[in-house]
Amino acid sequence: MSDSQEEKKEPIKRSHENYDESSDDEPSNKLAKADAGDGPRLCPYLDTINRQFLDFDFEKLCSVSLSRINVYACLVCGKYFQGRGTNTHAYTHSVADSHHVFLNLHTLKFYCLPDNYEIIDSSLDDIKFVLNPTFDKAHIEQLDTNGKLSRAIDGSMYSPGIVGMNNIKENDYCNVVLQALSHVTPLRNYFLRAKNYSKVKRPPGDSSYLLVQRFGELMRKLWNPRNFKAHVSPHEMLQAVVLWSKKKFQFTEQGDPVDFLSWFLNALHLALNGTKKKNSSIIYKTFLGQMRIYTRKIPPLELEESKRNELMSTVEYAETLTESPFLYLTCDLPPPPLFKDQHAENIIPQVTLWTLLNKFNAINEKEYKTYKENFMKRFEIRELPPYLILYIKRFTRNTFFVEKNPTIVNFPVKNIDFGDILTPEVKAMHPCTTYDLVANVVHDGEPSLGTYRVHILHKATQQWYELQDLHVTPILPQMITLTEAYIQIYELQSHKSDSSNEK
């Protein structure tokens, strides 16, 4: 072999030595440039891409090795594979199945395998947008006014924000909460722009920021106007929930939406470095209210009246006051009737929302029993939040089973004045106390076997929709009030004009 031949071979040999097959993209780009020249190469395989098979909602891991490092999506069959160098799973798949176009799920770059060169083509931008939807400020401001429908790949039409969500097994209790929160305008606007929370720093070893990231991704997918399909899978979001709730909330067994909502709002607040201050996170800015709780101890009933009166005048039995912040209000239903009517059917009782809210008027007292002592409590709302969450307590647990209260709550969907439960002094501090309903979570069926659905107001069209997993149907507002409401989210009317200013 001549010296000149050895010199020619030497640079190629060096490129291969620097090339790492397993994880890093950088050396591969050098090799691609050596193969392809300086400019991008036209790819003859772009017509093999099948957009109907593409689904980026699931965890980004290799379908063979289950590795999360350097994962590529095959744009022909939709499966995920690791690496793109010789002998990697993506390379082997491209040779064995003649699938040639791949997308790096982290860098959002397209490659042709096994030739290993980068594809730069504007016709692939729609795929990139589905994987990582981005929203600018102008687009976000139009979401509540633009009622334009979007078209999925199969030709079906959908409204961004009103899309079904997969029920993987028993996660409908999570779906309804995530759907309801996605229509709380300041929360949605905040999470649609990743730059709002990309600079959040957590202590070393604490990766609870992943919960924030996953919620942001889910929010962007729900509101994506260029989705390939008219539904979304919350798979990655739920995996973060299982991990950070230490398996308290699973998607394989039914849970309680109220427990999930309470945990989720507090977990997001802490992950965003929230403190006890009202403006420390978007969660507290949106949902935090203030109340006072007045508590007094009740003397034992078996004592004589004189002894009881004597005890009432002691410090131990005096009324105490505690300031208490709240993210939602718990409304107690009156007990249902024990007897059936003459047709041997259960009477379904009805109650107005005002009756339930009178618990918080600073006058009505409610008895709370503990193992040893009994207390009387009354509640006074001091500050109403921009978005008020009501939890209507339908389930009671006794020693043997869980019982459901089927009482129907009558409530208007618009112009509800919560100022009626405030003291005159507190009401004077609130310029506006009128709210409109934006989301209503409903429980159907038996306590342990029931399912959940949610009613959502699409603000751009003022149309109400019922969402139950993948099913999305328009509904009349009059029908919403006939359901067994469980969780409701109300929006302060004066906040409507402010919400578009949220970044």
* Cβ-contact 467, 456 below 8 angstroms: yes
At a CB cut-off of 8 Å and minimum separation 6, what does 72 contact?
Answer: 80, 81, 82, 83, 84, 90, 102, 103, 104, 105, 111
How many degrees, rounded to 5, is the angle at CA 223 between CA 221 and CA 225? 95
pLDDT for residue 373: 81
Strands 80-82 and 101-104: unpaired
pLDDT for residue 9: 39
pLDDT for residue 451: 92
Determine the Cα–Cα distance for residues 319 and 306; give it in Å rounded to an integer: 19
Determine the Cα–Cα distance for residues 258 and 24; give it in Å rounded to an integer: 44
Work out the average pLDDT over 140-160: 91
Residue 487 reports pLDDT greater than 90: yes
Specify the range with the lowest mean pLDDT, choosing from 26-40, 76-90, 192-206, 451-465: 26-40
* Cβ-contact 11, 35 below 8 angstroms: no
Residue 356 reports pLDDT greater than 70: yes
pLDDT for residue 367: 87
Give the C-alpha distances (Å, rounded to integers) separating 93 from 63, 98, 102.
11, 8, 11
Question: pLDDT for 450-475, tens place per residue?
Answer: 899 999 999 999 999 999 989 999 99
Q: Does residue 334 have a cis bond before it (omega within 30 degrees)?
A: no
CB-based burial label for 294 (10 Å; 0-12, 13-18, 19+):
middle
- What angle do the packed helices 235-244 and 257-271 form, to 10 degrees? 80
Determine the Cα–Cα distance for residues 368 and 387; give it in Å rounded to an integer: 28
Determine the Cα–Cα distance for residues 404 and 486; give it in Å rounded to an integer: 11
Question: pLDDT for 369-428, tens place per residue?
Answer: 877 788 899 999 999 999 999 999 999 887 788 889 989 999 999 999 999 899 999 999
Give the confidence band of 342 by pLDDT, cuts at 50, 70, 90.
low
CB-based burial label for 153 (10 Å; 0-12, 13-18, 19+):
middle
